[in-house]
Amino acid sequence: MADVRVVEGSEAVALAVKACRPHVIAAYPISPQTHIVEALARMVADGDLKAEYVRVESEFSAASVVSGASAAGSRSYTASASQGLLLMTEVLYASAGMRLPFVITGVNRSISAPINIQVDHQDTISLRDTGVIQLYVESAQEAYDMHLAAFKIAEAPSIMLPVMVCMDGWVLTHSYERVEFLDQKAVDRFLPLFRPENYLDTANPKTWGSYAEGDVLMEFKYAIHKAMSEGKSCIRKIMAEMTSLTGRDYGGLVEAYRTGDAEVILVAMGSMAGTVKDAVDVLRQEGKKVGLLRIRCYRPFPYEELLAAVRGAKVVAVLDANVSMGSEGAVGLDVKSRLNGRPGGPMVIDFIAGLGGREVNSTTVRAVVDRAERLFSSGAPPPEAEWLDLNPAIVP
Amino acid sequence: MPKKPARKTESLFVSGHRACHGCGLALAVRHILEATGSNVIVVSPTGCLETFTSPYGYSPWRVPWIHHVFENAPAIASGVAAALKAQSRESTRVVAIGGDGATFDIGFGSLSGMLERGDDVLYICADNGAYMNTGGQRSGATPLGAATTTHPAGKASWGKTERKKDLPEIVAAHGVPYVATASVAYLGDLKQKVRKAMTLHGPRYIQIDTPCPSVWNFPSHLTLEVGRLGVNCGLVPLFEMLNGKITKVKKLRSKVPVIEYLKQQKRFQHVVATDAPKERLMAVQEQADRNIEKYKLMG
Amino acid sequence: MKITPGAVVKGGTSLNYKTGNWRDQRPEIDAESCKQCGICQEVCPDDAVRQVADRYEIDYDFCKGCGICAHECTAEAIRMKNEEK
């Protein structure tokens, strides 16, 4: 009998985490993540979840507590958003470097200043260099499924890195959705106990956190990069395992939506992709050959899937809910790095969209597709990234 | 002097570490671990101790040890303690050992959180009064009057003009079961305090004065001598607090004038020089007198 | 030799790094005067004093020549001599 309920997105995440039997949870509030840790707190208070729940005094400590717990051999979890995620930056780099696995939910929210609590991807994108694996989800159901997968990915012996499941704040965390839950036995079979080879153990004393000279530093960093790049096959496998378990197939590292014969392919991440899919369907009805490539695993970047999906396309239009100030959107830069200069490859254009929760709707998408087609036909070189639905008149 | 029995067990903090000649901190750590025994996990922040004990491939730590980053040793320790509890491995204890830069300054928030939550961690601050690993910059623990590279003695100012942050009091204000101060110059007392702390649970704090010959600038053979002078002039009061009440104080047999301590260290030369304004020395003496009165160090 | 995952290393490996060549001067214990109080062993920051049967010996592989043992010796049985390079 399937367990299907309508739950708040945050609750779905909390239930996924609970099912993974974490030993240690670190909690610090920040909108729009707080409902997740509050849901977990209620479970712990009622004795439904046996975990050490550490109410830390900052996000820096939240990330640190789960790092220490992981080093001591315990499965651990925390969540944050926006400013809190940035505050964790140093810790995440160090934990990736020390190959300490744990799962963290990155609830997407804009970054100060000015302060704004609506959704964009600037926060998690800012952490893309850390060595933390990043998965982006479109729905509460996917958030539930991917949190289960995240623990398994993090703890895979060939990976051993923190995994961040990124989900849009408010849109996914605070809205209610129909979610199907796995029974505990199925989760236990999917996710065995955490048994790291190295952990803080008095019977076998080891030293963590050495400093490495120039003769080996690059190799240590390369080892992380290699674990991520080669880890893609492991991530694909785990996602496929989830699919057999649940029947839900999100496509793997990317979701290729109607890209088969598409001439214009949009690229997006997170819940925005849902809007884009709807717009794609309408445009398809009008005869336009458009599709969407939704990036699910952003780090490591799915170059192979990207290349396969854009074969035959004329234009790739990336929707970036983030910007690298002074340059372009991060996903656009990643896509261009592999496609630009490729003989016969598509033109890639980048659009900055949805910062501070600015609405990306079907009108926006239609305008993007029009713009993409026009740019392609003009034969001009691709322009600098365009900021969508901007009101330049009020900019001094 | 009675014969000392042969040391029964191999040290838990072995030779080959890269501390400076005569390092007070290195000496303290060996004795801390002698007192804790091997059933501990040690957490250290970035600093001298971390740097001289963890060049890749060469570690003196014969206990499990983790260094993460600079400001989070207390939080890492809290995480380790939580994991041990979750795994029912609580007979293994968590000990954090870090310097004053990490403890008084950058990790202060993390320390306060750990203390306030009541986490079962013994936090030991090896206090040498500056950011020594980076060459001796001023920290909140730098004593009044000391010259540091970011607060040098010059024509317009004369070294640190602020008092040393009273961290033991601040820790005690969190309502923790055990706070003590110690000195590497009094190893028996140091070990007794560590052993005492290990019999208790919850957050415990010991602050150990660890003279630094390299940067305080005195000959390396005088580390313990300088340490003794610091204690005996009143600038380094040694006491023990159980649940916020002072239960033990090391009394001074005689009051040594602070100048005896300061003149050993080049970092105070602008205070003790014959042509130095007298107010400087008076200010430091006043600190010592205040400690003597507050902790009843005399009589 | 391959690097370890996460740079995790076995404890106690510093014994492979002989700090003895840091010395400018070396302590020498006069066994005759030595009272075997053990203070030298207690105060060495580098754990470079060994008790061998009835005697205390400096481990010159690791002694950095800081001179604390000589200064703290209760019998004045330790002399610091210039290290011959």
**Residue B31, domain member (yes or no):** yes
Cβ of C48 and B15 within 8 Å?
A: yes
Domain positions in chain A: 3-246, 254-394
Q: Tell which of B221, B222, B225, B229 to mutate to test the C interface (max C CBs under 10 Å).
A: B221
Name the DSSP class of B90. Answer: T
Q: Is B9 part of a structural domain of the chain?
A: no
Query: Does B138 reside within a domain?
Result: yes
- DSSP type of residue B276: S
Check if the beta carbon of residue B89 is closer than 8 Å to that of residue B63: no
Q: Does A234 touch chain C (CB under 8 A)?
A: no
Interfacial B residues in 160-189 facing C (CB < 8 Å): 187
Residue B7 pLDDT > 80: no
**Stretch B224-236: mean pLDDT:** 98
Please report whether residue B160 resides in a domain: yes
| Nearest chain A CA: its distance from C14 CA (Å) | 11
pLDDT single digits (tens) B39-96: 999 999 999 999 999 999 999 999 999 999 999 999 999 999 999 999 999 999 999 9
A214-246 and A140-155 helices cross at what angle (nearest 10)?
130
Q: Does the pLDDT value for residue B8 go beyond 60?
A: no
Residue A278 phi/psi, 5-degree rounding, is: -60, -45
CATH number of domain containing B214: 3.40.50.970
| Helix orientation angle between B108-117 and B73-86, rounded to the nearest 10 degrees | 30
pLDDT band at B165, cuts 50/70/90? Answer: very high
pLDDT classification of B5: cutoffs 50, 70, 90: low
**Per the structure, how many domains does chain B have?**
1
- H/E run at residue A348: strand A347-352
| Chain B environment of C72 (Cβ under 8 Å) | 224
Q: Write the CB contacts of A68 (distance below 8 Å, at least 6 apart in sequence).
A: B43, B66, B68, B75, B76, B77, B78, B79, B80, B82, B83
- pLDDT given at position B2: 56
| Subunit contact B221:C68, Cβ cutoff 8 A | yes
Nearest CB to B22: which of C45, C47, C59? C45
Q: What is the mean pLDDT of residues C10-23?
A: 96
- Confidence label for B299 from pLDDT (cuts 50, 70 and 90): confident
pTM of the model: 0.96
DSSP-assigned states of every residue in A119-178: --SHHHHTTTTSS-EEEE-SSHHHHHHHHHHHHHHHH-TTT---EEEEEETTTTTSSEEE
* Residue B32 resides in a domain: yes
Residue B232 sits at φ, ψ, to 5 deg, of -75, -10
CA distance C45 to C69: 9
Structure tokens at B53: 């004990």
pLDDT in tens, B22-34: 999 999 999 999 9
Say which residues have a Cβ less than 8 Å from residue A114's Cβ, sequence separation at least 6: none
Q: Distance between CA A81 and CA A12 in Å, rounded?
A: 17
Which residue of A61, A74, A212 is in closest CB contact with B110? A61
**Per the CB < 8 Å rule, is C51 touching B222?**
no
Q: Does domain A254-394 have CATH number 3.40.120.10?
A: no
Answer whether residue B6 shows pLDDT above 90.
Answer: no
Q: Which two structure tokens, joined as six digits, stand for A136?
A: 């982006």
Locate B19 and state its tokens: 């501390």
pLDDT for res C84: 82
CA A6/CA B156 separation, integer angstroms: 70
- From first to last of its 396 residues, chain A has per-residue pLDDT tens of 689 999 999 999 999 999 999 999 999 999 999 999 999 999 999 999 999 999 999 999 999 999 999 999 999 999 999 999 999 999 999 999 999 999 999 999 999 999 999 999 999 999 999 999 999 999 999 999 999 999 999 999 999 999 999 999 999 999 999 999 999 999 999 999 999 999 999 999 999 999 999 999 999 999 999 999 999 999 999 999 999 999 999 999 999 999 999 999 999 999 999 999 999 999 999 999 999 999 999 999 999 999 999 999 999 999 999 999 999 999 999 999 999 888 889 999 999 999 999 999 999 999 999 999 999 999 888 889 999 999 999 999
Contact between chains at B30 and C62 (C-beta distance less than 8 A): no
Prior bond to A143 cis, omega within 30? no
CA angle, B193 then B196 then B200, to 5°: 135
Give which of C1, C3, C8, C9 to mutate to test A binding, by max A Cβ within 10 Å: C8
Tell me, what's the pLDDT at A1? 65
**In this complex, do A212 and C7 lie within 8 Å of one another by their Cβ atoms?**
yes
Enumerate the domain spans of chain C. 20-82
Alpha-carbon distances, residue B110 vs A228, A286, B46, B77 (angstroms): 31, 59, 14, 10
Mean pLDDT of chain B: 96
Q: How confident is the model at residue B10 (pLDDT cuts 50, 70, 90)?
A: confident
What are chain B's partners, defined as 3 or more CB pairs within 8 angstroms?
A, C
> How many Cβ pairs within 8 Å bridge chains B and C?
119
Nearest CB neighbour to B22, from listed C17, C19, C66: C66
Q: How many CB atoms lie within 10 A of CB A28?
A: 25
The mean per-residue pLDDT over the stretch B252-276 comes to 96
CB contact A26 to B (< 8 Å): yes
Q: Tell me the average pLDDT across B221-226.
A: 98
pLDDT at residue C53, as a whole number: 85
Q: Does A208 touch chain C (CB under 8 A)?
A: yes
Residue B187 · residue B31 · CB < 8 Å = yes
Judged against a pLDDT cut of 80, whether residue B3 lies above it is answered with no
- Those residues whose C-beta lies under 8 Å from the C-beta of residue A181, and which sit 6 or more positions away, are A3, A4, A5, A15, A19, A144
- CB-nearest to B21 from C22, C59, C70 is C22
Q: Which of B14, B27, B57 sits opposite C43 (nearest CB)?
A: B27
Highest CATH level, class, for C20-82 = alpha beta
Would you state the pLDDT for residue A381? 87
The ipTM, to two decimals, is: 0.97
Q: A49, A58, A61: best mutation site toward chain B, by most B Cβ within 10 Å?
A: A61
- Write down the CATH number for the domain with range A3-246: 3.40.50.970
With respect to residue B5, please indicate whether it lies within any of the assigned structural domains.
Answer: no
Minimal-distance CA residue of chain C relative to A96: C6
C16 and B16: CB-CB below 8 Å?
yes
Total number of residues shown for chain B? 299
- For residue B257, say if its preceding peptide bond is cis, omega within 30 degrees of 0: no
Measure in Å the smallest separation between the Cα of B54 and chain A Cα atoms: 5
Residues from chain A that touch B63, judged by Cβ atoms under 8 A, are: 202, 205
Give residue B1's pLDDT band: very low, low, confident or very high (50, 70, 90).
low
